[in-house]
Structures are given as structure tokens and as C-alpha cells.
Amino acid sequence: MNNKYYQKWLKINDRDINNKLTQLSDEEIANRFSGVLSFGTAGLRGKMELGTNRMNEVNICKLAFAILKYYKANNLQSIVIGFDTRHNSKTYSRIFAKVLASGGIKVNLYKNYVPTPVLIFSIKETNSDMGIMITASHNQKMYNGVKVSGSDGIQIAGDVEKTINSLYAKIDEVEAYNEYHAKLMKQKNNIFYVSKKIKAKFLGEFYKNKINKELNIIYTPLNGTAYKYVQKALKGTGFNKIKTPFSQKIANGNFTTCPYPNPEFVEAYKASLKCTEEFDADIIVATDPDGDRLGAMIKSTKGYKLLTGNEVAFLLLNYIYETRSREKNLFAVSTVVSSPMFFDMCEVYGIKYEKTLTGFKNIGRAKKALEEKFGKDGFILAYEESCGYIIKDNLYDKDGIFSLVKLCEIASYLKTRDSSIEEYLNEIYQKFNNLYSLNSSIAFDGENALERMNKAVDDLRTNGIKTLLKKKILKTVDYLKDKTGLDKSNFIEYKTESFSFIIRPSGTEPKLKFYIHAKGKTLDASKKLANDVLVAIKKEIFNINE
């Protein structure tokens, strides 16, 4: 196969890698060596295979040397590194540690897997200039990734991200890997394991107000990092009736009981729902493999019901607002793809808010800026509809642990008053005109999946959409071309008199995402309209019949 990138990789001084490369088919070579990985919405992410556009030890070395160059150029001194339960995560973390330590950087390394929120918390506690988390979040088992955060605990963006990307692009990954393999594999100097005291300090927040709470909870970490942390957080707060599916309690990079370990989707709750046959749970809560996302199912009049990411945000916002003192400068943050009802709630409650582009690198910065303007005491909530929430004033990235305990607190509070989350949520919907939001997506597979996904949006930009469900498109907002007050971004919003929708490519995987907001006379009517819009998008725009 006459692919110059592939031919260069054949010069890697590693017999195992070389043998695997020579066994690749022409089709595999064309697919895996067609481009390079770059930072997206949440860092670097890809399938774990050999190739220039895949996650592997070679590209990890390349990024590690790029970050080392950045550290040297900016006279930075220390870093903290964590990893999740996925295959190769620990290996990748050790490569980063050894490369950075070889350059004289103090490396604070987690000995065992750790949730992302704890890693973020550790940046300040270890006095580190950056934090690296090896994780692919909620993606399937074949994926892995790297999240890089600054000293403030916010994912890098702007000039820092551009500079590291530029350094990354200039490094010859084959030379980088050969240097690592020949000289650095046994590097031990400047590497220190993170103290267990940091974990204890993170969990210490949950022991301040210990009250026994009568709530039956099923919790699943989806074979990820957060089991021990959530257990201690819940019990420390006073929740004692907790059950976890045994098959999902244990760290398992294969995710055999939930092939797509995403708490947004009901499929991830199969093992938990099985537990309800013997354990009458009031609520089922889940964290994704790196513990930064929260999902939930609630007991309803029709069995257990999955909450959307927006619905969890409604509950958190309403409850936190109702149960705290009313400072003059309350504020919240969310994104342009989140439910408009969230911002309606903020306006009615007098909560200042800011809309950002997707990604917690944007949300975290907006939160920090508002704290500097109004003070930390006014912070209510920051969230993204894909099950990411911040409720703590000293965290700037999504956190599935504190938000999980707060959601259980809401359920417990309502249960003691002979009410339920279902009733409470319905009251919120009725108060705010039953605006319902629905998210969905189309996955792209095979060769050049990312390119084909982006082309689909470009085609929409060129051809336009005039009607959907026989409703006239009254307004189109192109976030790549129109003035929106935000940075340019590749997605398009369409509005009619009764519904709106946004179409955008995912920043972390080859998926085209849809965000639909619909308003009918009743909540059921709004839900039906939203589902009709989804069917119409797939059929009328993308010629998909389901």
C-alpha cells in the first residue's frame, strides 16, 4: 500500500507494532491513515487501533511530547494525571507520566483509576499547572481519549489549545515513539503517586450534614470509575438503602452489560431494571465510565421512566432555587442546544444566565467569568443537555457525583412529603407551558465517517430547508456564518411557529446530532410533536425511514 503515513510507520522500532501493521489490509490502511487526530469538543478521542487517526501508544507519545514542549516554553512545573477503567487507559497514563517526567516535570500520578471530577479537584490540591485525564467518557469500548485541563480545572481552549495542537502537528510521531521506546519506558524519576488524602478531602463535603434519608436507590457506575466514590458520598450524606447491579459494580473495559455505557440511553439501565424485581427503588441513578455524567430513571405511574438531561436540569434548578437564600445576583449557565425552558425558568426566577457553545470548556469559562462578576455565592447551576452538570462553586467541569447526591436529595425531600419526582417535574412543565425537548442522532460508520458527517451539514448549508412537517421554516440561524455573539461553530438552527431544531456534528464521535424543542397545548402533545419532528428530520432531510 503506497500510503506515505503508513510507510513511515513501518519504521517504528517495535516488533509487535510492526507485525500488526504488515497484517493490515489495503482498506484498513486507507481508513486508518487518512488523517490525524485533533482536539474536538472535549479533547482528543478516537478508536483504539494503529493508525494516524486512531488512539494508540504512538499518538499518545506524540501528544505527550507536544505537552512537554508547551510546558518547557511556558516554564510550567507540575501536572496531575488520571485514567478511567477502559482498556489501555492505564498504559496511556504511564506514557504521559514518563515523557513529562523525563523533561523534569513533577508528575502527580494516580496509581489506580479515578473519576474525572476527582482528577479535576486534584489539580488545585496538587498545585499542578494542568491535569490530564485518560478517558473516552461515555463512548463504546473501542474508544479512548485524552482530556486536558488548565490549572483552574477548565478544559483547555483558545490559544492554549491552538498552541498545543500546533506543537502536536509538528512532532514526528514515529521519532517520538522510538525515543520513548528506547529511552523512557523505565523512567521513574519525578513521578509521585497522588495522596489518598485528596480523595478523602473530595468526599469530605458529603459528611457535613449527615441525615438519615428514607430513599431506596439503585446506583450503577456502568463498570466505570465512580462506584466507591458514589457509595461513600451517598452513605456519608445519610442514604443507606443502596443497591448496585453486581455485573456493573466491577471495573470492566469491555462494558459487557452495557455496550454503549451512556446514561442518556435506557439501554444502559438494563441490569438496574432487573434489580427492581427484588428491590423497590424510588430512583435509579447512573454515572458514565469516568464519573462526570449523571443519568436517572424515576419510578412513575407507568413503571420506571428515563429522565432527559434537560429534565434533570429543571429539577436541580427549581429545587436549588426554592431551598436557598435569594441573593440578588443568582446566575446559571447552559448552552444554545439546551432546552429553552431552562432559560424561561431563569427569567421568571430572576436568575441571570449565559448561553455558550457546546462543551464544558465553554461552560466552565462562562461560569468562572460570572463568579468573578457576581461572586461565587450566586451560582445556581451549569449544565449541558447531554447529562453534564455542575452544582459546586469550586468545580468548572461536569461532575456526576455531587449532582447525583443532590438529585437523590430531591427525591428524598419529595418522598417525605408524599410526593414524587414525576409529580414535581409535571408541575414544572405546567408552570412553563409544557415546552418539551428531545435529542437524537444519526451515526456515521466506515471510511471517512467524520468527513461524510461534516459534508451532510455543509449540504444543508448550501441547499437550505424551507419546510418540515408542512410547516414553514420562519428563521434559520447558521452559527458558522451568522453573527450570534458566539465563536463560529458548525451547526444550524431552524425555527417554525410551533417547534425549532438544531442540527450539528458531534465534537467527540462520528454522529450528527439533533436537538428538538416543541410546544403543544399539553405535555403529551408537545412530546408527540417533538417525536414527529424527529421522524420528519430523518425522513424528509436525510431519507431515513425507520
What is the SS3 assignment for 505-516? ECCCCCEEEEEE
Superfamily for the 435-541 domain: Alpha-D-phosphohexomutase, C-terminal domain (3.30.310.50)
Average pLDDT score over residue span 210-217: 79
Question: Is a pLDDT exceeding 90 seen at residue 36?
Answer: no
Neighbours of 203 (CB within 10 A): 17
Question: Is a pLDDT exceeding 80 seen at residue 213?
Answer: no
Give Cβ neighbours of residue 378 (< 8 Å, ≥ 6 apart): 327, 328, 329, 330, 331, 352, 370, 371
The pLDDT, as a whole number, for residue 368 is: 96
User: Domain residue spans in the chain?
Assistant: 4-194, 200-431, 435-541
Question: Is a pLDDT exceeding 90 seen at residue 285?
Answer: yes
CA atoms within 13 A on the CB side of 288: 26
User: To 10 degrees, the CA torsion angle through 388, 392, 397, 399?
Assistant: -50
Q: Are strands 283-287 and 303-306 parallel, antiparallel or unpaired?
A: unpaired
CATH hierarchy code of domain 4-194: 3.40.120.10
Residue 2 phi/psi, 5° resolution?
Answer: -90, 65
CATH hierarchy code of domain 200-431: 3.40.120.10
Question: Is a pLDDT exceeding 80 seen at residue 38?
Answer: no
What distance in Å separates the CA atoms of residue 238 and residue 232, rounded to the nearest whole number?
10
State the Rg of the chain over Cα: 23
Reported as a pLDDT band with limits 50, 70 and 90, residue 400 is very high
Average pLDDT score over residue span 254-279: 94
What is the secondary structure of 454-475 as a DSSP string? HHHHHHHHHH---EETTEE--E
The pLDDT, as a whole number, for residue 393 is: 84
Phi-psi region of 266 (alpha: psi -120 to 50; beta: other; left: phi over 0): alpha
The pLDDT, as a whole number, for residue 326 is: 72
The pLDDT, as a whole number, for residue 85 is: 97
HEC-encoded secondary structure of 258-310: CCCCCCCCHHHHHHHHHHCCCCCCCEEEEECCCCCEEEEEEEECCEEEECCHH
18-36 burial, b if ≥16 CB within 10 A, otherwise e? eeebeebeeebbebbbbeb
Question: Is a pLDDT exceeding 90 seen at residue 19?
Answer: yes
Task: Please provide the average confidence, as pLDDT, over all residues in the chain.
Answer: 93
The pLDDT, as a whole number, for residue 265 is: 92
The residue among 362, 371, 364 whose CA lies nearest residue 337 is 362
Question: Is a pLDDT exceeding 70 seen at residue 391?
Answer: yes
The pLDDT, as a whole number, for residue 470 is: 94
Neighbours of 216 (CB within 10 A): 18
Question: Is a pLDDT exceeding 70 seen at residue 211?
Answer: no
The pLDDT, as a whole number, for residue 454 is: 85
**Grid cell for residue 374:** 457576581
Q: Who has greater pLDDT, 444 or 114?
A: 114
What residue type is assigned to position 484 of the chain? T
Give percent of the chain with pLDDT exceeding 70. Answer: 98
Weakest mean pLDDT among 12-26, 28-42, 151-165, 256-270: 28-42
Number of H helices, E strands in the chain: 19, 22
Instruction: Evaluate whether 48 touches 56 at the Cβ level (below 8 Å).
Output: yes
User: To 10 degrees, the CA torsion angle through 536, 542, 545, 546?
Assistant: -80
The pLDDT, as a whole number, for residue 39 is: 66
The pLDDT, as a whole number, for residue 61 is: 96
Question: Is a pLDDT exceeding 90 seen at residue 509?
Answer: no
The pLDDT, as a whole number, for residue 210 is: 63
Give Cβ neighbours of residue 219 (< 8 Å, ≥ 6 apart): 230, 231, 234, 242, 243, 244, 284, 285, 286, 404
Question: Is a pLDDT exceeding 90 seen at residue 394?
Answer: no
Give Cβ neighbours of residue 271 (< 8 Å, ≥ 6 apart): 220, 245, 247, 248, 257, 258
Query: What are the beta bridge partners of residue 443?
Result: 511
Question: Is a pLDDT exceeding 80 seen at residue 438?
Answer: yes
Instruction: Evaluate whether 317 touches 332 at the Cβ level (below 8 Å).
Output: yes
Question: Is a pLDDT exceeding 80 seen at residue 316?
Answer: yes
Reported as a pLDDT band with limits 50, 70 and 90, residue 545 is confident
Reported as a pLDDT band with limits 50, 70 and 90, residue 205 is confident
The pLDDT, as a whole number, for residue 259 is: 85
The pLDDT, as a whole number, for residue 1 is: 66
Q: Return the DSSP state at 148.
A: E
Instruction: Give the relative orientation of helices 158-170 and 57-73 as an angle to the nearest 10 degrees.
Output: 120
Residue 79 phi/psi, 5° resolution?
Answer: -145, 155
Fold identical between 4-194 and 435-541? no
Average pLDDT score over residue span 478-502: 94
The pLDDT, as a whole number, for residue 336 is: 96
**Grid cell for residue 119:** 482528577
Q: What is the pLDDT of residues 43-64, one digit of tens each?
A: 788 999 999 999 999 999 999 9
Reported as a pLDDT band with limits 50, 70 and 90, residue 272 is very high
Query: What are the beta bridge partners of residue 505?
Result: 512
The residue among 263, 225, 232 whose CA lies nearest residue 83 is 225
Instruction: Evaluate whether 262 touches 236 at the Cβ level (below 8 Å).
Output: no
The pLDDT, as a whole number, for residue 543 is: 87
Q: Is 504 helix (H, G, I), strand (E, B) or coil?
A: strand
Question: Is a pLDDT exceeding 80 seen at residue 453?
Answer: yes
Weakest mean pLDDT among 308-322, 448-462, 485-499: 448-462
The pLDDT, as a whole number, for residue 41 is: 54
Instruction: Evaluate whether 474 touches 496 at the Cβ level (below 8 Å).
Output: yes
The pLDDT, as a whole number, for residue 408 is: 96
Q: What is the pLDDT of residues 234-250, one digit of tens each?
A: 999 999 999 999 999 99
Q: What is the pLDDT of residues 147-202, one digit of tens each?
A: 999 999 999 998 999 999 999 999 999 999 999 999 888 888 999 999 999 999 99
The pLDDT, as a whole number, for residue 40 is: 57
The residue among 317, 321, 334 whose CA lies nearest residue 370 is 334
